[in-house]
Each structure stands twice: as structure tokens, then as C-alpha cells.
């Protein structure tokens, strides 16, 4: 089985977000990926952003800039993929504004809110939907009205 299956990549991403050693493993898994699968590229970009989190101050910006380029490539291949947009949103919404690398936050947030409200017609599977809804509501990225609207959507 390919290590690039969406369910496996999601697990790696969740583990990497919480643990430096898992972050290194996630980055190493995707570092050499040279294919054109948009979703895999989205996860590769996320792994580069996680690498930036754990890198020395000298190297942080290099990894963040690489992640931005990889996200641009992934989104250009599949702009309607909510999971890719979520990955980019989750990274960009956590970057310091002074870097100037958070230019898609509002666009992606709007895209994700609309996709989540259209679930299951959004193309997201149930696991991706729950992750997106949980992030938007749990991190306070949506208004109380939108949070209530999302709560009424069946996962």
C-alpha cells in the first residue's frame, strides 16, 4: 500500500502537528515526493511548514517559503480541493503576519466555510469534514452564527 494514501497522510499530519519527532518523520516521508498528485503535494507543503516550526531560527523562513511554493503548486493543480485549502489555511492562519505569507487566509476560510456548509456535497469525506469543522469552530475562525450553522450539518 502506498504511504501517500489520504488516511495515512492525515494520521501523519495529526501526529506531526503534536510531536517534533513525528514531524521529522512526516517531513522525511514527503521530502522526495516529486509526483503531481495535488493532495499529496498539499501534505508535502504541510510537512515543510511543520519542519519550519521545528527548525533553527536561521532555517525557519526557508522552510516556510518552500511550503508556500508547494501549496501554490497543489492549489493550482486542484483549486477546488477542500482538504488542500484546509491544510494551507491551517498553516497560514498560524504564521506571524509580518512574514507576509498569510495572503490566502480569508479566501481559504470563506472557501472552507462554504464547503463545510455544503457537506456531503462538498467532495470532503466525513473525516475531512469533521476536521475542517472542528478547526473552524474550535479555533474561533468563524462567527457564532456560522458555528451554529456548521453544527447543524450532519457529518
Give the whole-angstrom CA distance, residue 73 versus residue 57. Answer: 26
Q: Count other C-beta atoms under 10 Å from residue 78's C-beta.
A: 17
Domains of the chain as residue ranges with CATH? 6-151 (1.25.40)
pLDDT at residue 2, as a whole number: 81
pLDDT at residue 57, as a whole number: 87
| Helix, strand, coil fractions of the chain, as percent rounded to 5 | 70, 0, 30
**The C-alpha cell that represents 66 in the structure block:** 518552500
Render pLDDT for 75-99 as a digit per residue (tens, 0 to 9). 999 999 999 999 999 999 998 888 8
The radius of gyration of the chain's CA atoms, rounded to the nearest angstrom, is 15
On the 0-12 / 13-18 / 19+ scale of CB atoms within 10 A, 51 is buried
pLDDT at residue 85, as a whole number: 97
Helix 57-77 with 82-92: angle, nearest 10 deg: 160
Q: What is the pTM of this model?
A: 0.93
Render pLDDT for 40-77 as a digit per residue (tens, 0 to 9). 999 999 999 999 999 998 899 999 999 999 999 999 99
- What torsion do the CA atoms of 76, 16, 9, 108 make, to the nearest 10 degrees? -30
Amino acid at each position: 500500500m502506498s504511504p501517500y494514501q489520504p488516511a495515512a497522510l492525515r494520521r501523519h499530519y495529526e501526529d506531526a502537528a503534536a510531536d517534533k519527532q513525528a514531524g521529522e518523520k512526516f517531513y522525511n516521508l514527503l521530502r522526495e515526493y516529486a509526483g503531481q498528485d495535488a493532495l499529496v503535494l498539499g501534505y508535502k507543503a504541510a510537512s515543510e511548514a511543520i519542519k519550519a516550526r521545528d527548525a533553527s531560527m536561521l532555517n525557519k523562513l526557508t522552510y516556510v517559503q518552500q511550503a508556500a511554493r508547494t501549496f501554490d503548486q497543489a492549489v493550482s493543480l486542484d483549486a477546488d480541493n477542500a482538504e488542500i485549502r484546509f491544510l494551507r489555511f491551517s498553516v497560514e492562519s498560524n504564521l506571524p503576519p509580518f512574514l507576509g505569507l498569510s495572503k490566502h487566509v480569508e479566501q481559504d476560510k470563506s472557501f472552507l466555510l462554504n464547503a463545510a456548509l455544503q457537506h456531503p456535497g462538498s467532495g470532503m469525506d466525513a473525516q475531512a469534514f469533521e476536521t475542517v469543522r472542528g478547526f473552524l469552530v474550535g479555533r474561533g475562525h468563524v462567527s457564532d452564527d456560522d458555528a451554529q450553522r456548521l453544527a447543524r450539518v450532519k457529518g
